[in-house]
Each structure stands twice: as C-alpha cells, then as structure tokens.
C-alpha cells in the first residue's frame, strides 16, 4: 500500500519581536532566519522546510505585522505578512504569555482572511511562574476567534515545540512534496550571507541604525576551499556612514569578524569577507529603491 504524502505551507504570524524567527529555527532544526531582540529584524518571507517521512511542512517566517505604516518599508512588510495569511494552508498565530499588545489586536483582526485553520501559539510561558494565568487569556481569545488548537510553548527554551509540530502536521493537506526532502530553506547563498552580516549589524548598532540599513552581496567567488565575499552595507543618510564604520573602522571590522565566523560555520569553508558602507538617500521610504535592493 502506497504511503499518502502530506505537504503544506504554514505561516508563522504575529506582531514584531514575538519570537517568530526563533520558532522557525526551532521547528526546522537549523538557523534559517536571523534573530535579534530588536523589532523588524525579519523583512522578507523566509521559508524553512521540514520533511519527516511522508510529511513536509513549509514554514513561512513573516515580518511582524504592525499598525504603523509611515514608510514604504513598513507598508511592504505588512503587505507581505497579509498575503501569507490569506494563502497559507495553516496559520500559527504567536503571542506572548505575559502581555497583550495593540499590534496583537491588529494581527487577530487580519486572521479573518485565513482560509486554513489557525493555531494559537502562546510563547514565553517560561516567564510565567503561575501557568494558571494562561486560562483567562485563552478563554478571552477563544471568544474572539475560533482557533483550531491552542499550544502554550517557549521557543527560546524549546518547550512544547514537539507538541506544536505534531498539531501542525495533523492539519497539513494531502499532496506531493514541494521541495526535495533534504532542502531546509528556499534562500540562496547570497541572501543567507547578507542576512548574517545584517544580523551582526543589528546586534552592534543602536537607535535608528538597524532600521536604516540593508546588506547586498556584491560578489561571491569560490577559490578552492576559500569563499571570497564582497558586500555593501547600505545606509540612508550620510551621517549614518561613520557610525557604522566606527572609529578607525573598528565597528565595521567587528561586524565583519562576527559575520565571517557564522558564514564559515554555515558553509563549512574558509571565508574572506570585505565590507563597504555606502549611502542611498531615504531608501526605506522609496518603493523603487526598495525593489532595486531586492524587496520585491
């Protein structure tokens, strides 16, 4: 008897900084999406693919949905997350166990457009000393939306992730696998390298700098076991350039050193990384420049 295959797209949605990328990496078992404690780290739709025997789940990490849409970048991220909600076979709505935000309300309203079942994933339960505090929250939200299932969990502590995965797999539709069983993401080498550099940039800079920068890999060349990479860090104002470079180039050097170590770990090759900082005026608020930088 032939085994029936199952496959489907699973959207992980929620407000900014609720733990979506951490959950994606946890579910897939590899780092396919960069992580930082700062909001709006994820700007693109990133697929994490997990195949277990006859079942393939294609997880979609989305930018955090937020109410503010002052700039073209914010509008782009909201459009991306909205489209995923409408198209996914299963939606995982992530919230925090300890607090409800206005942006959570905005996401909840958009879930009415979901065609598939919606699972409520209550993250950060490790921060709750009294787990019974979850019951009023679950009861209140269940009155507002008919969730297919509710799973309290902790992405950071890997708590109850297996249970969440089991619930997700149960809702996936029958059908052939979309990707080879060994594939774990849809992103190419250039994207992954650029994201690892941007992760270090976010971690090492403050205030508006993380939100005003993006990274583009300009050249990628393999010579034997040496991966030679040239990348550009784009900022949107001239005054931001010396901040990213740092005194005597110290900050840029630190970004490069940390990123190189992660790139070497990812590709299992020696890496030579060169970084430049350049200016594209107000690029986060210009649709044409966004497209030119890869935000389709």
**What pLDDT, on a 0 to 100 scale, did the predictor assign at position 35?**
87
Strands 90-96, 149-152: pairing is: unpaired
Domain boundary among 140, 171, 202: 171
Q: How many domains would you assign to the chain?
A: 2
CA 184 to chain centre: 14
> CATH number of the domain that 123 lies in?
3.40.50.300
Query: By C-alpha distance, which of 121, 15, 108, 119 is closest to 64?
Result: 15
- Do both 162 and 193 map to the same domain? no
Identify whether 1 is part of a domain: no
Instruction: Please state, in angstroms and as integers, the Cα–Cα distance from residue 72 to each residue in 76, 82, 136, 166, 289, following that order.
Output: 6, 15, 38, 38, 10
- Do both 17 and 106 map to the same domain? yes
Identify whether 182 is part of a domain: no
Give the other-Cβ count within 10 Å of 259's Cβ. Answer: 25
- Do both 287 and 142 map to the same domain? no
Sheet holding 270-279, edge to edge: 214-223, 226-235, 270-279
Instruction: State both tokens at 258.
Output: 């940390």
Identify whether 120 is part of a domain: yes
**What pLDDT, on a 0 to 100 scale, did the predictor assign at position 7?**
97
Q: Provide the 3-class DSSP secondary structure of residue 95.
A: strand
- Do both 139 and 193 map to the same domain? no
> CATH number of the domain that 281 lies in?
3.30.300.20
Which phi and psi (to 5°) does residue 149 adopt? -165, 160
Identify whether 214 is part of a domain: yes
- Do both 142 and 47 map to the same domain? yes
**What pLDDT, on a 0 to 100 scale, did the predictor assign at position 216?**
95
**What pLDDT, on a 0 to 100 scale, did the predictor assign at position 29?**
92
d(CA 38, CA 272): 28
- Do both 223 and 260 map to the same domain? yes
- Do both 67 and 12 map to the same domain? yes
- Do both 159 and 131 map to the same domain? yes
Query: By C-alpha distance, which of 139, 165, 204, 154 is closest to 51?
Result: 165
Please list, in sequence order, all residues whose beta carbon lies within 8 angstroms of the beta carbon of residue 292, skipping any fewer than 6 positions away. none
Identify whether 66 is part of a domain: yes
Which phi and psi (to 5°) does residue 81 adopt? -65, -40
**What pLDDT, on a 0 to 100 scale, did the predictor assign at position 38?**
80
Identify whether 247 is part of a domain: yes
Identify whether 216 is part of a domain: yes
- Do both 109 and 199 map to the same domain? no
Give the other-Cβ count within 10 Å of 250's Cβ. Answer: 10
Identify whether 176 is part of a domain: no
**What pLDDT, on a 0 to 100 scale, did the predictor assign at position 141?**
94
Domain boundary among 118, 138, 171: 171
- Do both 160 and 15 map to the same domain? yes
Q: Whole domain around residue 260: which residue ranges?
A: 189-292
**What pLDDT, on a 0 to 100 scale, did the predictor assign at position 86?**
87
pTM for the model: 0.90
Q: What is the pLDDT along the chain (296 residues), one digit of tens a residue?
A: 567 899 999 999 999 889 999 999 999 999 999 888 887 788 788 899 999 999 999 999 887 776 666 788 888 888 887 888 888 999 999 999 988 988 899 899 989 889 999 999 999 999 988 888 899 999 999 999 999 999 999 999 999 999 999 999 999 999 999 999 999 999 999 999 999 999 999 999 988 888 899 999 999 999 999 999 999 999 999 999 999 999 999 999 999 999 999 999 999 999 999 999 999 999 988 888 888 888 76
- Do both 129 and 193 map to the same domain? no
- Do both 167 and 195 map to the same domain? no
């Amino acid at each position: 008897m032939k085994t029936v295959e199952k496959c489907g797209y699973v959207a992980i949605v929620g407000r900014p900084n609720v733990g979506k990328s951490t959950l994606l990496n946890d579910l897939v078992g590899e780092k396919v999406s960069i992580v930082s404690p700062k909001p709006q780290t994820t700007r693109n739709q990133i697929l994490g693919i997990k195949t277990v025997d006859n079942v393939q789940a294609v997880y979609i990490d989305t930018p955090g949905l937020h109410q503010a849409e002052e700039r073209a970048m914010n509008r782009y991220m909201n459009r991306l997350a909205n489209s995923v909600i409408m198209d996914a076979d299963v939606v995982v709505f992530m919230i925090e166990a300890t607090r409800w935000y206005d942006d959570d309300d905005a996401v909840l309203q958009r879930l009415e457009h979901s065609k598939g079942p919606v699972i409520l994933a209550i993250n950060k339960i490790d921060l709750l000393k009294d787990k019974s505090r979850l019951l009023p929250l679950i009861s209140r939200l269940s009155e507002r939306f008919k969730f297919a299932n509710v799973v309290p969990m902790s992405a950071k502590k890997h708590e109850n992730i297996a249970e969440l995965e089991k619930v997700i797999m149960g809702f996936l539709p029958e059908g052939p696998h979309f990707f080879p069983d060994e594939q774990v993401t849809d992103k190419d080498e250039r994207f992954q390298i650029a994201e690892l550099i941007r992760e270090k940039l976010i971690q090492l800079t403050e205030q508006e700098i993380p939100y005003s920068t993006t990274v583009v890999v300009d050249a990628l060349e393999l010579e034997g076991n040496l991966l030679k990479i040239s990348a550009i860090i784009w900022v949107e104002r001239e005054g931001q350039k010396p901040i990213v470079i740092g005194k005597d180039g110290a900050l840029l050097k630190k970004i490069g050193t940390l990123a190189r170590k992660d790139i070497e770990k990812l590709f299992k090759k020696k890496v030579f990384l060169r970084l430049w900082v350049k200016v594209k005026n107000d690029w986060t608020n210009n649709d044409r420049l966004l497209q030119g930088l890869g935000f389709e």
